[in-house]
């Protein structure tokens, strides 16, 4: 597996005031809305989206997909020093979750 097999698809920011942040990203920055619903707003105009999730005090989550099998990618990344946990099913997709060296959450799934 090479780094070109990993693709960043979403950065999730946990925000205290979702209405204020939604207004900032949608109205001030004029980013196109991708998905807006209770407790969640997502914006983007390319391959990577910015999601705003109502929640206080959590670090950002970076979400990647891999072109290779999730098992193989997890094994190879863990062999190089990453610490991804067991593969689980969440919201209809298989994922594994780890942390970077600063404690930010890294989620990895297979490319649909």
What local confidence, expressed as pLDDT, does residue 2 receive?
Answer: 56
What local confidence, expressed as pLDDT, does residue 50 receive?
Answer: 95
Give the 3-state secondary structure percentages of the chain, helix then strand then coil, rounded to 5.
20, 40, 35
Percent of the chain with pLDDT over 90: 76
What local confidence, expressed as pLDDT, does residue 96 receive?
Answer: 97
Averaged pLDDT, 85-92: 93
CB within 8 A of 43, min separation 6: which ones? Answer: 25, 26, 29, 31, 32, 33, 34, 49, 50, 51, 52
- Domains in the chain, ordered, with CATH? 3-110 (3.10.180.10)
Averaged pLDDT, 84-97: 94
Averaged pLDDT, 7-15: 95
Averaged pLDDT, 33-38: 89
């Amino acid at each position: 597996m090479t780094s070109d097999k990993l693709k960043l698809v979403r950065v999730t920011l946990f925000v205290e005031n979702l209405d204020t942040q939604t207004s900032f990203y949608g109205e001030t920055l004029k980013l196109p809305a991708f998905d807006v619903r209770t407790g969640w707003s997502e914006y983007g105009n390319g391959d990577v989206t910015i999601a705003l999730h109502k929640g206080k005090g959590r670090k950002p989550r970076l979400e990647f997909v891999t072109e290779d099998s999730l098992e193989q990618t997890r094994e190879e990344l863990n062999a190089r020093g990453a610490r991804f946990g067991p593969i689980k099913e969440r919201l209809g997709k298989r994922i594994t979750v780890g942390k970077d060296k600063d404690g930010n959450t890294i989620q990895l799934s297979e490319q649909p």
